[in-house]
Amino acid sequence: MSFSATNFAQPRPVPVGIRSNEKSLSSDPFRFRFRGSPSFLGSPHSLRFNPTPPLKLAIPHSRRSPAAAVTDVSNGKMVKSSANMLFGFVLQLITKEEGLELYEDMILGRFFEDMCAQMYYRGKMFGFVHLYNGQEAVSTGFIKLLKKEDTVVSTYRDHVHALSKGVPARAVMSELFGKATGCCRGQGGSMHMFSKEHNLIGGFAFIGEGIPVATGAAFSSKYRREVLKEASADHVTLAFFGDGTCNNGQFYECLNMAALWKLPIIFVVENNLWAIGMSHLRATSDPEIWKKGPAFGMAGVHVDGMDVLKVREVAKEAIERARRGDGPTLVECETYRFRGHSLADPDELRDPAEKARYAARDPISALKKYMIENKLANEQELKSIEKKIDEVLDDAVEYSDESPLPPRSQLLENVFADPKGFGIGPDGKYRCEDPKFTQGTAHV
Amino acid sequence: MATLFQGVGAVTPFSASSSLDSNKLLLPSRKSLSISDSRGSIFVYRSDALNLKAATRKQDLLIPNAVATKGETSTSAKSGHELLLFEALREGLEEEMERDPRVCVMGEDVGHYGGSYKVTKGLAEKYGDLRVLDTPIAENSFTGMGIGAAMTGLRPIVEGMNMGFLLLAFNQISNNCGMLHYTSGGQFTIPIVIRGPGGVGRQLGAEHSQRLESYFQSIPGIQMVACSTPYNAKGLMKAAIRSENPVILFEHVLLYNLKERIPDEEYVLSLEEAEMVRPGEHVTILTYSRMRYHVMQAAKTLVNKGYDPEVIDIRSLKPFDLYTIGCSVKKTHRVLIVEECMRTGGIGASLTAAITENFHDYLDAPIVCLSSQDVPTPYAGTLEEWTVVQPAQIVSAVEQLCQ
């Protein structure tokens, strides 16, 4: 897959308020006319139709719906990218530094997750571990554009979001090992990554329950700007979640509130087509999630989530919209997870041909190819990045191995921010004053 | 109805210079806390210290009345101002919003409508639509939004139009509100207040007459308080807003129009303490919220019959104030719990267990717990009356207990 100008920045455009002409799709759910995108073929045999060979994602402008691109709506101008495409410009999308940064971040994500799998099978970590292999383009494409004060909310597949946001690999790894030096002192685990310093507010185990929290963070940002009059408060919030979540009520309730109050939030759907063993097509009446944005009056965009540069383009626009105060965006990233849902998932249900098709679109190899073809980097530089990441990870594992396990005294420490909440004991003193409290053996 | 021993003059104020950080782990036990801010010091009323002292003084005197008459309260009766409970809540809320610009309210109809029980009346005009936010009808999501806002620096108060509606927000309250401070390793605090009216009203039907204290009490990481008088409503509201912990404040639909005279000065009550309503000798009656009034009504009858009940409004439903309760049990040796909560797994059940565990040796009789019947509240007036504990039942329970 090449990264020529014809392929890049082709988000499925949907204007706010203009009805798409795809109404006919809903009448026969099995005859979607996907505009050249083969990705929705990821369904069980019985539902498959017309298996088309993997198409290049070049979509000539004329075949697209007459709807204009997202930027069109807010600016009222013709979209620049199509103009460029028409004239066949090859745009320089990223500088060398940016490219290396993106590459390093994706390699960190991939190698970290592979190391997690190794450590899990060696018995260093337990429970549910959900790995992000294959989806790195989404995390890197979005999070690398954020400022430190911007907020990220994720789900249980949150290791790589944490890493992209800047949480050190050491902190994440020791959290997974359950050590006291973990980013959450070992109390959260794989599914609850938090970092106040890096503004990562979770890590949620139930799908959908992070979306209202993200909406709250965005509300906070708007409140600071408008009520507290902090001029610099233009922080945006990114909420990452999957295709399964898009059938959950909390998702829709938050789309409504975010659009209603024009909150600075971006809803990023990582549509990897599978919710454990449930195919997205089997669970959803209208599988095109980006269309649900305009239903609430916000921009809805579809992007190829295996291509970090495309994701980055869409992300840039969405983040700028949110920072300006023009409200939320719903971005559907079509992506794929190369491993099972979690390390406990045998992953027998997905078609090997589908997996192979997506493996060929590995975002890391794609970026590598792009950088080398466009003379942004050579093999040597990329190899040295990989080596560097290997060292970072070895150090993280060593650090985590040597870190202490949480002592008993930690058991009761963080239940309440104000430990008076444990109440008054029979002796008249607050329970938190009981020396056994600090030892973790107090009866509360 | 004025309660005993809570007059303005009865508390020792601390000087303006001593400000204690209420978040410090080691606290001087049972002393009054004072919080001084830029406006000067304010006085915190710790009901227990005064009441126990006063109680020992009064031991020798016969108590002619079950409840305090106007003349018995101290000189405060002339100072202070009279208001209704919902106005007291509003006053507390407004004072806190004035004091800290990060305090905001969100809920259904809290803004332009002024709140379905008028607790937020006038606030939207004063503070704007963003600070007093009218939300769409999406409890789960706007409670979650409140939690997210609390994590990122605001201090929201989420109003459930009826506590029953919070069932829809249970996911957010249980998973996020209670747990996030812990799972984030202490990184994020959630200083949110979730409040709303609950309890059995006047023929409101089953779903609007729910008592959900029992549902929330197992959630680790939250505190629950129930207010019952205008005085403690305002004090608890302020304490809840200032607390760094997530607090659920239970109000009662039938108590909003209670009138009482409250002090003019600013005061904040303690979230963890119980309130001594009427000291006594023969039996300890533990109650909260609306049942307090049924108990006081029964107490009138009991006094006429020669009994001397000690009535404690536990106020803090989670955690229990085992000190006040314990001191009382050690004195009277008999306990009656009167509550409106469901019998099964309710507050009374937990309280019975806690008292048995801690004060078993001091009990002369098994603990009697009077709760509502385990039925969905019927619409019919007569049936509804029989669902809830009535004063007559309280009187006969005390008589049986004291045999």
Do B256 and B113 fall within a single domain? Answer: yes
Q: Is the pLDDT of residue B195 over 70?
A: yes
Complex ipTM, two decimals? 0.80
Coil, strand or helix at A116: helix
CB B213 within 8 A of CB B315: no
Do B174 and B291 fall within a single domain? Answer: no
Q: Give the length of chain A.
A: 444
Helix (H) or strand (E) holding A218: helix A210-226
User: In the structure, what pLDDT confidence band is assigned to residue B48 with cuts at 50, 70 and 90?
Assistant: very low
Do B257 and B282 fall within a single domain? Answer: no
Q: What is the pLDDT of residues A264-287, one digit of tens each?
A: 999 999 999 999 999 999 999 999
Do B225 and B307 fall within a single domain? Answer: no
Average pLDDT over residues B387-398: 95
Among A194, A219, A431, the residue with its CB nearest the CB of B145 is: A219
Among B29, B149, B319, the residue with its CB nearest the CB of A220 is: B149
- Which residues, listed in sequence order, are joined to residue B310 by a DSSP beta bridge? B284
Average pLDDT over residues B204-223: 90
Do B283 and B257 fall within a single domain? Answer: no
Question: In the prediction, which pLDDT does B268 show?
Answer: 96
Using only C-alpha atoms, chain A has a radius of gyration, in whole angstroms, of 23
Last residue of a domain, one of B236, B263, B290: B263
Do B100 and B179 fall within a single domain? Answer: yes
Among all residues of B, which ones are annotated catalytic?
A: 139, 208
> How many separate domains does chain B show?
2
Nearest to A190 by CA among A113, A243, A267: A113
Q: Residue A409 corresponds to which tokens in the numbers above?
A: 């005294």
Average pLDDT over residues B376-384: 93
Do B258 and B282 fall within a single domain? Answer: no
**Which residue is listed with tokens 């295709």?**
A243
Among A213, A250, A423, the residue with its CB nearest the CB of B321 is: A423
Most A CBs within 10 Å, among B131, B141, B275, to test the A interface = B141
Residue type, B296: M
Question: In the prediction, which pLDDT does B78 show?
Answer: 66
Instruction: Give residues 101 to 160 of A whose Cβ lies within 8 Å of B.
Output: 151, 153
Instruction: Give residues 241 to 300 of A whose Cβ lies within 8 Å of B.
Output: 249-250, 253-254, 256-257, 260
Residue type, B184: S
Helix, strand and coil percent figures for chain B, each rounded to 5: 35, 20, 45
CB A228 within 8 A of CB B102: yes
**Which residue is listed with tokens 């992209």?**
A164
CA distance A156 to A136: 15
CA distance A71 to A299: 9
Q: Give the length of chain B.
A: 403
Determine the structural domain holding residue B208 and report its residue range.
81-263
CATH code, B213:
3.40.50.970
Q: How far is CA B335 from the centre of its chain?
A: 20
Mean pLDDT lowest for which of A99-103, A321-325, B35-39, B290-294? B35-39
Nearest to B209 by CA among B319, B393, B84, B373: B373
Question: In the prediction, which pLDDT does A84 show?
Answer: 36
Bigger pLDDT: B297 or A80?
A: B297
Q: What is the pLDDT of residues B79-130, one digit of tens each?
A: 899 999 999 999 999 999 999 999 999 999 999 999 999 999 999 999 999 9
Residue type, A13: P
CA distance B399 to B403: 6
Residue A438: φ, ψ to 5°? -70, -20
Do B336 and B255 fall within a single domain? Answer: no
Bigger pLDDT: B4 or B247?
A: B247
**In chain A, how many H helices and how many E strands?**
16, 9
Q: What is the pLDDT of residues A138-151, one digit of tens each?
A: 999 999 999 999 99
Q: Residue A152 corresponds to which tokens in the numbers above?
A: 């990220």
CATH code, B289:
3.40.50.920
Average of per-residue pLDDT values in chain B: 84
Q: Does A434 touch chain B (CB under 8 A)?
A: no
Q: Does A187 touch chain B (CB under 8 A)?
A: yes
Question: In the prediction, which pLDDT does B403 show?
Answer: 85
- Count of CB atoms within 10 A of residue B57's CB? 10
Residue type, A432: C
Tell if the CB–CB gap between A420 and B140 is shorter than 8 Å.
no
CB A211 within 8 A of CB A239: yes
Do B310 and B361 fall within a single domain? Answer: yes
CA distance B153 to A199: 12
Note whether residue B41 is domain-resident.
no
Nearest to B335 by CA among B295, B282, B296: B282
Quick one: CA dihedral A36, A40, A44, A47, positive or negative? negative
Residue of chain B minimizing CA distance to A214:
B148
CB B152 within 8 A of CB B188: no
**Which residue is listed with tokens 């409890």?**
B139
Tell if the CB–CB gap between B147 and A186 is shorter than 8 Å.
no
Q: What is the pLDDT of residues A73-127, one digit of tens each?
A: 333 333 334 433 444 345 567 899 999 999 999 999 999 999 999 999 999 999 9
CA distance B185 to A415: 9
pTM, two decimals, is 0.81
